[in-house]
Amino acid sequence: MITIEEAEIRSKIIKAMAHPVRLMIIECLKDSTRSFSEIFDLFALDKSTVSKHLLVLKEAGIVSSKKSGTDMIYTLEVPCVTDFFGCVTAVIENNVRRQQVCLCKR
């Protein structure tokens, strides 16, 4: 069993990922680094909103950045964080199967 302190640390990291835009940013960084411009172009959002999402991920230690000319380059610090997505997908699939079984029993 983990301690309450460990649970709180894990919770903060999970909360940092708990937004659709941030999940999409993590997904786009899983295979390679991306510039701010590339990330920004993925969304119909203003620059300050995308910057805030990147800052949340950076403060949680999920991404890092470095300046390159006039742009920032973002890197996924711990690529295994995307393994978590596979687990979430498994939960979704399990829920769908359970719902289908319930519907068939009616």
Global confidence as pTM: 0.84
Half-sphere exposure of 106 (CA within 13 A, CB side): 4
What tokens does 34 get? Answer: 């991306």
In angstroms, the CA 17 to CA 97 distance is: 26
Show the tokens assigned to 36.
Answer: 């701010």
Phi, psi at 46, each rounded to 5°? -80, 160
Q: Choose among 39, 17, 10: nearest CA to 88.
A: 17
Mean of pLDDT over the chain: 91
Which candidate, 45, 57, 49, places its Cα nearest to that of 82? 57
**Cα separations (Å) of 15 from 2, 37, 71, 78, 94?**
18, 25, 27, 16, 23
| 4-78: CATH class | mainly alpha
63-91 pLDDT tens trace: 999 999 999 999 999 988 888 888 888 88
pLDDT of residue 82: 84
